[in-house]
Amino acid sequence: MRFTVTMKDPDTLSDAVRDAVKESLLKLPITQDERDILAETRVETEYGKCRKWFRYGEYLEVEVDTDLMTCTVKANP
């Protein structure tokens, strides 16, 4: 069986990107103020890269195939 699922949660993607960016910046020898400023730019950049998979920033459409046991992110139209 093959079907498509659209998942929506407006905070999940932005929270995940922000957390990953903050964690990556902890390794840099800079002040917390510098990290905060740099984080805003990096979050925006990384979030933009996710547009390939997230149509409106909070939607993810996947195609599930239970015969092949796959789950694939569908491309934006």
pLDDT at residue number 59:
77
Q: Which CA distances in Å does 46 have to 5, 9, 36, 51, 65?
A: 24, 18, 15, 9, 29
Which sequence spans correspond to the domains of the chain? 2-73
Tens of pLDDT, residues 9-49: 878 888 889 999 999 999 999 999 999 999 999 999 998 88
The pTM score is 0.69
**Band (77; pLDDT cuts 50, 70, 90):** low
